[in-house]
Amino acid sequence: MSKVTIENAEGLKAEAEFVDLDGLPEEGLSLDDFGEESDEFHHLMQLKAADRQCVRSNLLTVEGWPETKTKMKTRCVGAPPLRVCADVPVLYRRMCKKQLYAEVCFPNDLKKDVEDCFKVATAAAIAAFPSGGPGGAKAAFTSGMKGCLAAKLGSRVHEVGFSTGVKTTHGKWVPL
């Protein structure tokens, strides 16, 4: 198991651990072990073989991400018979925790190259986050990983599969 820590100039820090899943029996793995199911989850697990390993790493965690919504509520003023009711907009807010993660499967002999590319792509994701949010960080990681893998692995790039996702934990809606 190896650990990667990267921090950018703004102080945003990302940590990731490569965990070897080859020692676990197939029947011991479930989607609960991986959190939200990505579109490529099953494909990545099918790539798993005796000479391969699959890992899932959190790239970036952001707490206190605000979300807002507007909902119409009926408000009434005055006493009957002069009572007037109307629908008015009410603004709500909640705080969320966003986690950007990556799932990667690769042959054991490519571990060093994949870890190097993972570091490059994670740095790109951290740099993109302040202006692009989770979506921009996800796109930057994907682009960085694809470019680095193509440059380092050449014709073997097809042997590495990866996907990214964002897991969100929501707080309660509070009217403002």
Taking only the tens place, the pLDDT of each residue in 15-71 is 544 444 444 333 333 333 334 445 555 555 555 556 788 888 888 888 888 999 999
Residue appearing with tokens 């996800």: 138
**Secondary structure class of 42 (helix, strand, coil):** helix
* Of residues 75 and 9, more confidently modeled: 75
**pLDDT above 90: residue 166:** no
Report how far apart the first and last C-alpha atoms of the chain are (Å, whole number).
Answer: 46
Taking only the tens place, the pLDDT of each residue in 78-102 is 888 889 999 999 999 999 988 888 8
Cα distance between residue 160 and residue 123, in whole Å = 20
Structural contact between residues 104 and 161, judged by C-beta atoms closer than 8 angstroms: yes
pLDDT for 10: 54
**Secondary structure class of 53 (helix, strand, coil):** strand
pLDDT for 8: 53
pLDDT for 49: 59
pTM: 0.62
Strands 174-175 and 84-107, sheet pairing: antiparallel
Q: What percent of the chain has pLDDT over 70?
A: 72
